[in-house]
Chain A
Amino acid sequence: MSWFSPIPQTQFDSYNAAHLLWRAGFGGTWEDAVSLAQVGLKGAVDKLVDFPGAKETAPPDFVTPPESDAAFQQRIRGLDKEARSSERQKREEGERGKITDLKFWWLTRMLTTEHPLEEKMTLFWHSHFASSFNEKIEACYPMWLQNDMFRRNALAPFPVLLGKVIRDPAMLVWLDNAESRGGRPNENFARELMELFTLGVGNYGENDVKAAARSLTGYTIDRETWTFHFNPEWHDAGQKTYLGQTGAWDGDDVVRIITSQQASARFMARKYLEFFVYQNPEPDLLETAAALYRDSAPGPFLHALFESEVFYSAKAKDSIVKSPVVLAIGALKAMRVPVPEKEVLADALRLMGQDLFFPPDVNGWPGGMAWINSNMLLVRYNFANFLLNGVSPGEFKMFNRKAAAPGERRREFVEHQRDSSVLEWNPREQLRELGADRGMMTTADVVDYYIREFLQRRMPAEVHQQLEDFLETDAAGGHRSFSLDDSNFDERIRGLVHLIMSSPDYQLC
């Protein structure tokens, strides 16, 4: 195989278009895949990669710079101890509430955007340059600034993006560079910059960590406004020998020297391949991709990747474990419903192991098989049950399973959806329309339809038959016919889709 030769146009059918949608975005309906296939391979890739690019995204209303510490201290001065602690708690809860709103805002964007790759790359950078709200930041505003920076530079040349990262307030605080000054520099950011963001272990030495830390001293923030600030008094302007080059380096020199390393192209090429194509790329593929990456901007690189033989190869197809965010957004897209109640979705994503703005550590989410263990797999399956039936085990806040019988739960869920104006998924209406359009009415057609809508690949005849039998099971476990007019039609369809989503196959894309 020639890794990066484009596949023939004729091979770009709806199944390959669905594959492209999952990898470059968050999946979609079967209809989306069909219409993407219609514009042809080049047209489809253009459509995904050449998005206009957000220039200056307006922050959502709730995102405002937090009250500065000085102003806060001023405000609580004179209050008694109890009132002060209550103000402090209010402030903390306020920021926690805002970050939940920000998760919801971003997830809604992923679900509704016309430019899914823009959000997918934003998610890619969020995990690559992982910074967490926790511990040191605890404010929504800098997390928004960082998210917006990733979005605006989603496909920017790497040196440009890195130049922003070494000036990003959330990053500087999260990895302690904001406190780093000449004489006794803090090594945290300098080390992770090379180890996790650009070069990888083995491509630098301990002396390079120290030299980079010295070069980055004085890159700090103004705590009142959460803006970048270069403090020349804290900066160590002396000579440093960094990755074999000697000079009075600063942060921009570090970026320049790093990005000129062969190791950097290889490191980033691997990241792209593992995110978009498959884990553990062959050495030859990696070298080819690294050369291509070095010689092109990210946009053209992704163009080539999304048209390539390796991207549509048997090895690549269905080989990636969907991240929880992709799993959830993909399911909502297939159901054609909006993002549900924000606390519930936030909880579900946390339990599935991908709490946006709270990556587990500076390495981001490891992804791949690490998304799966007994605990998180069951949460995924149960999340499907929640979306379909409103059954929410454990920590999902909205419902208490013990409180109600199954029928009650379902009714309560429907009620709740009405209350919170979350749209209810209405398969009967969907099927009626499709049935009227296409004359699709046999049990086998219905099973076909849902496998295609949700899984977008085929299942073996034997499994197919079982799913048909399921639709035709009566209350006592016997057999009956199935039709759109059945009184428990809805329960059957939800059960069917829950099964599809509770298959190992559904976890992969």
Chain B
Amino acid sequence: MSSHRRHFLDKSLYYLFSLDGNLEYGREDIGFVSGGVRINAHSVPRDSRAYSVVGETRVFGEKLVAGTMVWGGDWAFAREDDIELLDVKALIRTDDNAVVEVEYGGVLAAGPRSFRQVISEKPKFGSEQNPLDATFYVAPRFNSGDPRYAWLNGRQCLGFGRVKFIESLAKQATVDFWMMD
């Protein structure tokens, strides 16, 4: 058998846009399910924003997404092994009136014994003065019927985000989306 590769395949990451979600609007505690706790969190309609942190508006000549998240939710599953699985769907209406679908799964690993701390709330983590930032990683895909954003449809992307906890509740999430090429 031939020897394996000694080099990485070519890869590039291109910044797409960032998304801030305000999660205060709706929290639905489903409760204990097999293996953990199910929680549905919904963003505040029209109070969450897609934008560029670097001011760029195009990548490869294509228009980047900037607009308002009009609908979004995370059907999250906090597992007993201290890993939270994210299951997010969201809709962005861009400033130029297109609709872009956002869909991703991901992982938030808050560390050892975090599940116990989440469900016991002893002690509660994060405060107004000192929120707790937890990191999450996601693998989004985007979809749009609008020709101006159709270039996104075939792209697998990555996202690096932070969620802010206050009094043990997720209040705000922010994520940077990157396109793989």
Mutual binders A and B = no
Tell me the A residues contacting B by CB distance below 8 Å: none
Tell me the B residues contacting A by CB distance below 8 Å: none
